[in-house]
Amino acid sequence: MSRTAQAAPPRTVPDAPREIRRRTRRGLSDARYAALLAAPAAVVLLALVGWPLVKLAVNSLYTGSGLGDGRRFAGLDNYLTALTDAGIRAAAGRTLAYTVIVVTAELVLGLAVALLFHRLGPRSRILQTIFLYPLMIAPVVAGLLWRFLMIDNVGIVNELLTRVGVLDSPGDVSWLSDPDLVLFSVALPDVWLTTSFMTLVLYAGLQAIPPDLYEAARLDGARGLRMLVSVTLPLLRPVIAVALIIRGVDAARAFDVILIQTDGGPQSASETLSLTIYKTMVSYNDPGTAAATSTLFMIVMMLVAMVGVLTIWRPGRES
Amino acid sequence: MTHARLARLRTGLLWAVAVAVVAVYAFPFVYLVLTSFKPATDAVAVPPTVLPQRFSLDNYLTALNRPGVTASFVNSVSTAVIATVLSMALAIPAAWGITRYRSRAGRVLMAGSLLVRMAPAVAIGIPLVTILGALGLTDTPTGLALAQTTVALPLSIWLLASFFEGVPREIEEAALVDGCGRFTALLRVILPVVSGGVAVTAIFAFLASWNEFLFALLLTSVRAQTTPIAIANFQSQFGLDWGPMTALATLYSVPAVVLTLLLQRRIVAGLSLGAVKG
């Protein structure tokens, strides 16, 4: 950037097309011009997101497969099904549990590592780079990789645990086929992939805290944990809130990581809502219920995110 | 003296902890790469070994010779390129309009992009199957790229807006005084100033498409299948053939890892700007 930055500042652009010059002189107001700049993106988003969502809402009011055979208006029946179906309710519960597991693990780990890097200063840059790379890896690859690490008998995780004496034999823990354990196991790749993101964001937040605030707190006798709880964490609050909202929303939508590891099994023990909706649509060919469930899912997500933004983040209050 | 030594000891300890944490964190991927270079049978040896006993490219040859695998790479590249170009072409003017003019429409678009991010991909993906089908774009890289634009475009708008924030107004004003049109000023004067940010944004848009799975699963079947789907299909079609699977997973991660290393500092800047300011 430095090279281009030096070259770029004010210089004449000799042959600006005459046509554009004329239009500017005629004077498109700033607001009109800004709207014109944003219009194509807005139109594309409306077409590719708004329209599908309208279609989704319409589909949620019909039963029968989408191909016209027996498709009929059903009012709110699908919503009733979505709200009362035991499988869908269980999936909603698991989605919440999965989100809490992922986000808690990431926040604790991410904060610990961010504090460590912050303490070590800029010399830890190489370590930071290595810590960053999982962020770029495809979730499907990460899911597959962790499945490979966690295979009962030949997986390296159980082998290492056996060698250090935690397990008696590598076959003792079945990470991905034990229904009580599987929700935690499938969360591992997600935690591995995105703790980097948490660390990165929290590290940037830590860098932004003015050092004299620490100095003042130190003069007041704050040390270690006390410093963390009464100075650092309150100051990081908006940053933590943003990170939690972004990651919470993503974790709740988790699909590929779980699909590739367990396909929701065993006995649906790791089936979160995105998988349930996908299966309702593709395997059970029930687009009405799938549409109603997704509509409810989306409404809940937006409400939670909005409440999150308004209560924890409190935009505008800081600045 | 003792105080200084204690402080040094503590710093040393912290470094040791940091190195250990990073080593544990890096291990899964290193193990994946190492396994991919083992002879096919050693990938699932009992007990597993970390280092290859013998270096071999068998897994790579097997993986690349499977039907559809090389074609899936071509599809992944073309889909990601289309999605990136489209997202950038739309996001650059939009983000500039939003940051430079601070209009109400701009704020609505920013909030809208954020809301799009909250929507579960299944909710958008399922209706998109019929919509793209009606447009004749089923199972084509263009159709898939359009779907992935719903992820890449909002991301690009937010990232670019945070980079444009840092551009001093005087730069545009000087260009306008020199007789440049507003749009020309954006293209020829503003963009070069934030070229680093534009590059980072383009990389994120590219990777958003490159790593995307759900839309690819819903919207492609044979012709436009991307590599993540090919990787996922490996297990059902050929049983759990771990060796070639690790090779394919490694190959597919190369662009992501290389791009990260090349632009590491800017990516850090971009991500933290986007998140902290956002």
A204 contact B CB<8A: yes
pLDDT over 80 at A262, yes or no: yes
Contact yes or no for A310/A241 (Cβ under 8 A): no
Domain for residue A159, yes or no? yes
Among residues B237, B270, B232, B235, the alpha carbon closest in space to that of B252 is found at B232
Among residues A99, A200, A113, A134, the alpha carbon closest in space to that of B275 is found at A200
Q: Identify the pLDDT of residue A289.
A: 92
CA A300 to CA A277: how far, in whole Å? 15
A145 contact B CB<8A: yes
Tally the C-alpha atoms within 13 A of residue B17's C-alpha that lie toward its C-beta.
14
Q: Which helix or strand (DSSP H or E) is residue B148 part of?
A: helix B141-164
Query: Which site among A21, A44, A106, A158 would you substitute to test the B interface, given the most B Cβ atoms closer than 10 Å to its Cβ?
Result: A44
Domain for residue A185, yes or no? yes
Q: How many CB atoms lie within 10 A of CB B29?
A: 21
Residues 164-223 of B with CB under 8 A from A: 170-171, 174-175, 178-185, 188-189, 192-196, 207, 210-211, 213-214
Find the domain containing A151 and state its range. 79-313
CA B40 to CA A123: how far, in whole Å? 40
pLDDT over 50 at A23, yes or no: no
Average pLDDT over residues B6-15: 90
Q: Identify the pLDDT of residue A2.
A: 38
Q: Identify the pLDDT of residue B276.
A: 46
pLDDT over 60 at B242, yes or no: yes
Q: Identify the pLDDT of residue B153.
A: 95
Higher pLDDT, B91 or A69: B91
Query: pLDDT band for position A314 (50/70/90)?
Result: low
pLDDT over 60 at B236, yes or no: no
pLDDT over 80 at A8, yes or no: no
> Which pair of tokens denotes residue B53?
């006993």
pLDDT over 70 at B202, yes or no: yes
Least confident piece of the model among A12-21, A114-123, A285-294, B234-243: A12-21
CA B108 to CA A11: how far, in whole Å? 34
Residues 20-39 of A with CB under 8 A from B: 20-21, 23-24, 30-31, 33-38
Encode pLDDT of B19-63 as tens digits: 999 999 999 999 999 999 998 777 777 777 788 888 889 899 988
Residues 72-91 of A with CB under 8 A from B: none
Higher pLDDT, A70 or A227: A227
pLDDT over 60 at A298, yes or no: yes
Contacts of A141 in chain B (CB under 8 A): 228, 231, 249, 252-253
Number of domains in chain A: 1
Q: Identify the pLDDT of residue A22.
A: 44
Query: pLDDT band for position A69 (50/70/90)?
Result: low
Residue A41 to residue B93, Cβ atoms within 8 A: yes
Q: Identify the pLDDT of residue A3.
A: 39
Among residues A35, A32, A42, A29, the alpha carbon closest in space to that of B91 is found at A42
Question: Cα–chain-centroid distance for residue A237?
Answer: 18
Q: Identify the pLDDT of residue A319.
A: 37
Measured in angstroms, the CA of B240 and the nearest CA of chain A are apart by: 10
CA distances from A15 to A19, A124, B89, B178, B232 (A): 11, 48, 23, 11, 52
pLDDT over 60 at B127, yes or no: yes
Q: Identify the pLDDT of residue B31.
A: 92
- Taking only Cα atoms into account, the Rg of chain A, rounded to an integer number of angstroms, comes to 26
> Which pair of tokens denotes residue A35?
């709207």
How would you label A67-95 residue by residue, b for 16+ Cβ within 10 Å and e otherwise? eeeeeeebeebbbebbeebeebeebbebb
Measured in angstroms, the CA of A180 and the nearest CA of chain B are apart by: 24
CA B36 to CA B33: how far, in whole Å? 5
A160 contact B CB<8A: no
CA A88 to CA A294: how far, in whole Å? 11
Nearest chain B residue (CA) to A286: B126
Residue B47 to residue A159, Cβ atoms within 8 A: yes
Average pLDDT over residues B134-157: 94
Q: Of B178, B214, B272, which is closest to A204 when you measure between CB atoms? A: B272
Q: Identify the pLDDT of residue B273.
A: 53
CA B132 to CA B151: how far, in whole Å? 16
* Winning range, highest mean pLDDT, from A161-165, B178-182, B259-263: A161-165
Higher pLDDT, B44 or A252: A252
Contacts of B46 in chain A (CB under 8 A): 153-154
Higher pLDDT, B261 or B61: B61
Query: pLDDT band for position A108 (50/70/90)?
Result: very high
Q: Identify the pLDDT of residue A6.
A: 39
Least confident piece of the model among B61-65, B148-152, B196-200, B268-272: B268-272
Among residues A176, A177, A170, the alpha carbon closest in space to that of B45 is found at A170
A240 contact B CB<8A: no
pLDDT over 60 at A7, yes or no: no
Least confident piece of the model among A94-98, A236-240, B251-255: A236-240
Q: Identify the pLDDT of residue A66.
A: 54
Q: What is the DSSP string of chain A?
A: -HHHHHHSSS---TT--HHHHHHHHH---HHHHHHHHHHHHHHHHIIIIIHHHHHHHHHTTEES-TTSTT-EE-TTHHHHHHHH-HHHHHHHHHHHHHHHHHHHHHHHHHHHHHHHHHHHGGGGHHHHHHHHGGGGS-HHHHHHHHHHHT-TTT-HHHHHHHHTTSSSSTTS--TTT-TTTHHHHHHHHHHHHHHHHHHHHHHHHHHTS-HHHHHHHHHTT--HHHHIIIIIHHHHHHHHHHHHHHHHHHHHT--HHHHHHTTT-STTTT--HHHHHHHHHHTS--HHHHHHHHHHHHHHHHHHHHHHIIIII-TTT--
Q: Which helix or strand (DSSP H or E) is residue B123 part of?
A: helix B121-134
Whether the ω angle into residue B47 lies within 30 degrees of 0, i.e. cis, is yes
> Which pair of tokens denotes residue B182?
């507003």
> Which pair of tokens denotes residue B149?
């634009």
Percent of chain A whose pLDDT exceeds 70: 87
Q: Identify the pLDDT of residue B270.
A: 60
CA A35 to CA B50: how far, in whole Å? 57
Residue B47 to residue A154, Cβ atoms within 8 A: yes
Domain B68-277 sits in CATH at 1.10.3720.10
Residues 257-296 of A with CB under 8 A from B: 259-260, 273-274, 277-278, 281, 287, 290-291, 294-295
Q: Identify the pLDDT of residue B78.
A: 96
B12 contact A CB<8A: no
Domain ranges of chain B: 68-277
Residue B100 to residue A34, Cβ atoms within 8 A: yes
pLDDT over 50 at B69, yes or no: yes
Higher pLDDT, B53 or A102: A102
Least confident piece of the model among A2-11, A52-61, B196-205: A2-11
CA A217 to CA A210: how far, in whole Å? 12
pLDDT over 60 at A16, yes or no: no
Q: What is the mean pLDDT of chain B?
A: 86
CA B90 to CA B100: how far, in whole Å? 16
Residue A204 to residue B275, Cβ atoms within 8 A: yes
B278 contact A CB<8A: yes
Tally the C-alpha atoms within 13 A of residue A289's C-alpha that lie toward its C-beta.
22
Measured in angstroms, the CA of B159 and the nearest CA of chain A are apart by: 14
Q: Identify the pLDDT of residue B239.
A: 60
> Which pair of tokens denotes residue B37?
């270079």
Contact yes or no for B234/B227 (Cβ under 8 A): no
Average pLDDT over residues A266-271: 91
Contacts of B97 in chain A (CB under 8 A): 33-38
CA A50 to CA B102: how far, in whole Å? 24
Q: In a 10 Å sphere around its CB, with 0-12 CB exposed, 13-18 middle and 19+ buried, how is residue B5 labelled?
A: exposed
Higher pLDDT, A75 or B263: A75
Among residues B64, B81, B78, the alpha carbon closest in space to that of B245 is found at B64
A62 forms beta bridges with A73
pLDDT over 60 at B67, yes or no: yes
CA B66 to CA B247: how far, in whole Å? 12
Average pLDDT over residues A31-42: 89
Looking up residue A144, the CATH number of its domain turns out to be 1.10.3720.10
Nearest chain B residue (CA) to A192: B25
Q: What is the pTM of this model?
A: 0.87
Dihedral Cα B54, B55, B59, B60, nearest 10 deg: -170
Q: Identify the pLDDT of residue B179.
A: 80
pLDDT over 70 at B218, yes or no: yes
pLDDT over 90 at A166, yes or no: no
Among residues A203, A221, A18, A3, the alpha carbon closest in space to that of A116 is found at A203
